[in-house]
Amino acid sequence: MNDINYTSLSASEVNISPADLGTRIIVFGASGQLGQCLQQQAAVRGIKNINFLPEENADILDKDIVAKVFADEMPAYVINCAAYTAVDRAEDEIDTARKVNRDGVANLATVCRAHQSTLIHISTDFVFEGDVPKLLGETEPARPINIYGLTKLQGEAALAGIIHKYYILRTSWLYSEYGNNFVKTMLKLGKERDELGVVVDQVGTPTYGMDLASAIFDIIQSDVQAYGIYHYSNEGVASWYDFAKAIFDLSGTTVKLKPVKTSEYVTKAARPAFSVMDKSKIKDTFGLEIPYWRDSLSDCIGKLQDPDADAPGK
């Protein structure tokens, strides 16, 4: 962590007053699953002053593009969903993971400070070692055991060293109707195979992307300026085996599920054995009510099985 040394522009250097700030929200990494969940939630809430920027149009590593986006939009809030999330591949692609998860975040933080924008950045439970079975609070020492977690922690440190108007939201086991995730993978494999082995001794909490997206807008609309690190996942505790069992039960998928130990399912990157996060801070600060993980999973599977379930008239 000692190699992080970022400089930043001050608001006075660019001569911006609070009165010049826009009211827009911009989202980087909008083509990912959380970005798409934010688009859905914005539509539900009738939020119009928001611009969703996919990676191909707004690379957070390109300082010139980032600067132009800010100059054009003058955002009050910036939501960063852009990240390198290939946990196992990161063990070999260290430089790429570090550039996106650390340097890209630093780029955004630098321009956010210059424009007096508030940055909402998504991080991960993988910043924790996860070797003790207890709820992980925001002040718990972060000791990642894989490159992905390390680069995400470096991104947190870079951000906090540049600006003070930020919310870091650590989440876990994210899934939704969009993109590639555990739920969609299990549903696919459940149709293709008669038997599946799923890890039973890694414990955490699944998080529905729609719930996280809703919480992000709740934070923005609360106008509570309690900056810092927060934990958000759905309520409850599950192993990956429990998660898979619930997916198959709720979807009516018939497949034999076998519990497998981590030692029997070797991966390139190590995973925390226990990463259940304490959500007391975010609930108390913003008055959030967080759904139980299985209830949210049922909602997601219902939408996957009937995409038009929420359409008018149904």
Angstrom distance (rounded) from CA 5 to CA 107: 13
Strand partners, 260: 199
Contact between residue 260 and residue 242 where contact means Cβ atoms under 8 Å apart: no
How many residues in total does the chain contain? 314
Q: Which of 6, 77, 84, 148 is catalytic?
A: 148
Which sign does the torsion angle of CA 260, 261, 264, 266 carry? Answer: positive
Q: Decide if 148 is catalytic.
A: yes
Side-chain half-sphere CA neighbours of 255 within 13 A: 27
- What does DSSP say about strands 25-28 and 228-231: parallel, antiparallel, or unpaired? unpaired
Contact between residue 221 and residue 42 where contact means Cβ atoms under 8 Å apart: no
Classify 66 as helix, strand or coil: helix
Tokens of 166: 């930020």
CA distances from 131 to 84, 143, 146, 239, 305 (A): 24, 10, 13, 15, 37
Contact between residue 129 and residue 145 where contact means Cβ atoms under 8 Å apart: yes
Contact between residue 176 and residue 307 where contact means Cβ atoms under 8 Å apart: no
User: Whose structure tokens read 């680069």?
Assistant: 151
Active site residues: 148
